[in-house]
Amino acid sequence: MIEVQHLTKRYGDLTAVSDISFNVASGQILGFLGPNGSGKTTTMRIITGFMPATGGTVKVAGFDIFDDSFEARKRIGYLPESPPLYNDMTVAAYLRFVARIKGMRKAEIPDALDRVLTRCGLSTVTGRLTGHLSKGFRQRVGLAQAIIHNPQVLVLDEPTVGLDPQQIIEIRALIKELAGQHTVVLSTHILPEVAQVCEKVVIISAGQVVKEDMLANLTQEQTLEEVFLKAISQEEPQQEPPNGEEAGGAQ
Amino acid sequence: MRNVLTIVGKELRSYFVSPIAYVVLTGFLLLGGWFFFNLLSRFNLLLSLYLQVQGGEAANRFNLNDSVIAPLMHNLAIILVILVPMITMRAYAEERKGGTYELLLTSPVRTGEIVLGKFFAAFLFIAIMIGLTLIYPAILMAFGNPEFGIMASGYLGLLLLATAFAAVGLLTSSFTENQIIAAVSGLVATLLLYVIGWPAETAGDALGSLLRYLSVTEHFAEMVRGIIDTRALIYFASLITLALFLTQRSVESLRWR
């Protein structure tokens, strides 16, 4: 459903993401792991068509995100790190607006609206301004916004950050429910979340994929924490040889 | 086109749910009413003086168009120089700050559609704002006999001027995520367009006529006098088109950072 191949993104001299490749099968939930600043958000922004890559290709539901951008974007729901809400709109008006710009027909919107309001537990706040909502509700509106047009692919950037335990449990349950009908990419650095929710795991560190496997295979012999720490510390010896050579050359 | 309308609807709604719209409308009408009242009472005073002194001969030189409408138009134009950037400042800056850019730019919507939607919404808001001042000429029509054509031409000029300012204000809003910076740079740009013709007389022939052509004031003043020149229409159309084009580039460039 999602094919990422040799993806590279440079901001000037800084390489945020370097030669990343991975695939997500239809209906799967992919846990996209990595320390802060490892390139998770950059990768997700490229997958959703927010920014172009410096190199490499991304295909979503068979459509290239660069060449067939519109077709690909129609099939993606995206929840950025902070939910993209207009604070002066009510929840219902906001969701209707999103449904329209995602290309839904007017006749389809009332049903879709009812569906996401129930699903995300927003029925009691439809008339409230999004700017007046608590963080947990804002996150749910963000999620509702991502799924209103029933996209094949969902990209969620740290959907549970800053929520209280009760809300975290609810949001995780919701994401689990969404799998099957949707293919989900979930970025996070909360490992138990991955263990509970995801089927497949991709770990990136310093802009490179250091581990890609099914969760079940990874956690056969060790815990996810061990796998994660091992994977991200593997990165360092790989980077050291060039430094060593340089030092050697200087002598 | 459908997307443009969706964006227009959303923008108009956000104009009218925020207090900015009402503050701007109230301020504009308050100042406009003050100018109108003063111009009219001065006109009244001068007219009655001339009628007494010279038996009505000199009074024929006075008319409502020259003494009330024209200065009123110029005064409103100056208020618009200041107010229009305040109306447009949030258009893009707020989207950037609030992270809603990410929603817009990952939706199946062309950047040009976003730019046009925001422009038409600002245009409609400004049309409503200027439309509300039609009460002044209506009063003059009811109690006097100003020339209608000249007033209509002046109003068209005012609308074009304000629309051009809106396009410029939207452009400066797209450069930054700070609304104050957007408003101040918008104000500087619109004011510059307003005064750029000032050195025309001393600048020599070629440069002078260029500056005069670049200045909104020149074209606007002609329309207030009742002259609708194609050069003026082309000027406003190209200024608006240029600003919208640059806005589209500026919004699009965010993807490449």
pLDDT digits over B179-225, tens only?
Answer: 999 999 999 999 999 999 888 888 888 888 888 889 999 999 999 99
Is it the case that residue B65 has pLDDT exceeding 80?
Answer: yes
Q: Do the Cβ atoms of A90 and A129 come closer than 8 Å?
A: yes
The more confident residue out of B59 and B93 is B93
Give the other-Cβ count within 10 Å of A174's Cβ.
Answer: 17
A152, HSE (Cβ side, Cα atoms, 13 Å): 15
CB contact under 8 Å between A49 and B105, yes or no, is yes
Residue with tokens 């995801």: A198
Contacts of A177 (CB under 8 A, 6+ apart): A119
In chain A, the DSSP E strands lie at: 2-11, 14-24, 29-33, 55-60, 63-64, 76-79, 153-157, 183-188, 200-205, 208-214
Q: In whole angstroms, what is the distance from residue B190 CA to residue B84 CA? A: 9
Q: What are phi and psi of A104, to 5 degrees?
A: -75, 150
Confidence at residue B56, expressed as pLDDT on a 0 to 100 scale: 64
Task: Express as a percent the part of chain A with pLDDT over 90.
Answer: 40
Summarised one tens digit per residue, pLDDT across range B147-189 is 899 999 999 999 999 999 999 999 999 999 999 999 999 999 9
Give the other-Cβ count within 10 Å of A103's Cβ.
Answer: 15
Structure tokens at B188: 């500087």
Q: In whole angstroms, what is the distance from residue A137 CA to residue B245 CA? A: 38
CB contact under 8 Å between B108 and A74, yes or no, is yes
Confidence at residue B53, expressed as pLDDT on a 0 to 100 scale: 76
Q: Do the Cβ atoms of B189 and B119 come closer than 8 Å?
A: no
DSSP-derived 3-state class of residue A129: strand
| Total number of domains in chain B | 1
Which of B65, B241, B104 lies closest to B170 in space, CA to CA? B241
Summarised one tens digit per residue, pLDDT across range B99-108 is 899 999 999 9
Q: How close A52 comes to chain B (CA, Å)?
A: 7
Helices (H) and strands (E) in chain A — how many of each? 9, 10
Q: In whole angstroms, what is the distance from residue B72 CA to residue B31 CA? A: 10
Best A86, A94, A98 residue to mutate vs chain B (most B CBs within 10 Å): A86
Indicate the pLDDT class of residue A58, thresholds 50, 70 and 90: very high
Put simply, whether B178 touches A (Cβ < 8 Å) is: no
CB contact under 8 Å between A101 and B104, yes or no, is yes
Our measurement of the distance from residue B52's CA atom to the centroid of its chain's CA atoms, rounded to an integer in Å, reads: 40
Structure ipTM: 0.87
Confidence at residue B54, expressed as pLDDT on a 0 to 100 scale: 65
What is the torsional sign of CA A12, A16, A21, A22?
A: negative
Among the partner residues A51, A88, A100, nearest to B14 by beta-carbon distance: A88
Q: How close A84 comes to chain B (CA, Å)?
A: 4
* CATH architecture assignment, domain A2-75+152-250: 3-Layer(aba) Sandwich (3.40)
Q: Do the Cβ atoms of B3 and B117 come closer than 8 Å?
A: yes
Measuring CA to CA, how many Å separate B18 from each of A89, B24, B171?
A: 10, 11, 21
Confidence at residue B257, expressed as pLDDT on a 0 to 100 scale: 67
Structure tokens at B24: 């701007």
Domain membership of residue B134 as a residue range: 2-256
DSSP-derived 3-state class of residue A128: coil
Average the pLDDT over A44-68 and give the result: 90
Q: In whole angstroms, what is the distance from residue A51 CA to residue A129 CA? A: 30
Indicate the pLDDT class of residue A86, thresholds 50, 70 and 90: very high
**Which pTM value belongs to this model?**
0.89
Put simply, whether B19 touches A (Cβ < 8 Å) is: no
One-letter identity of residue B74: H
Give the other-Cβ count within 10 Å of B29's Cβ.
Answer: 14
What is the residue extent of each domain of chain A?
Answer: 2-75+152-250, 82-150
Chain B contacts of A102, Cβ < 8 Å? 107-108
CB contact under 8 Å between A51 and B256, yes or no, is yes
Summarised one tens digit per residue, pLDDT across range A195-245 is 888 888 898 888 888 888 888 887 777 788 888 888 778 655 444 444 444
Which of A52-56, A148-152, A175-179 is the least confident region?
A175-179
Among the partner residues A73, A86, A93, nearest to B100 by beta-carbon distance: A86
Contacts of A81 (CB under 8 A, 6+ apart): A41, A157, A158, A161, B99
Q: Do the Cβ atoms of B179 and B161 come closer than 8 Å?
A: no
Put simply, whether A93 touches B (Cβ < 8 Å) is: yes
Put simply, whether A51 touches B (Cβ < 8 Å) is: yes
One-letter identity of residue A170: E
Give the other-Cβ count within 10 Å of B61's Cβ.
Answer: 9
Confidence at residue B144, expressed as pLDDT on a 0 to 100 scale: 85
Q: In whole angstroms, what is the distance from residue A136 CA to residue A166 CA? A: 10
Q: What are phi and psi of A190, to 5 degrees?
A: -95, 110
Q: How close A69 comes to chain B (CA, Å)?
A: 8
The more confident residue out of A250 and B122 is B122
Packing angle between helix B111-132 and helix B148-174, nearest 10 degrees?
Answer: 140
Structure tokens at B195: 């005064």
Put simply, whether B255 touches A (Cβ < 8 Å) is: yes
Is it the case that residue A248 has pLDDT exceeding 50?
Answer: no
When mean pLDDT is compared over A6-20, A212-226, B29-43, the highest value belongs to: B29-43
Among the partner residues A78, A82, A101, nearest to B3 by beta-carbon distance: A101
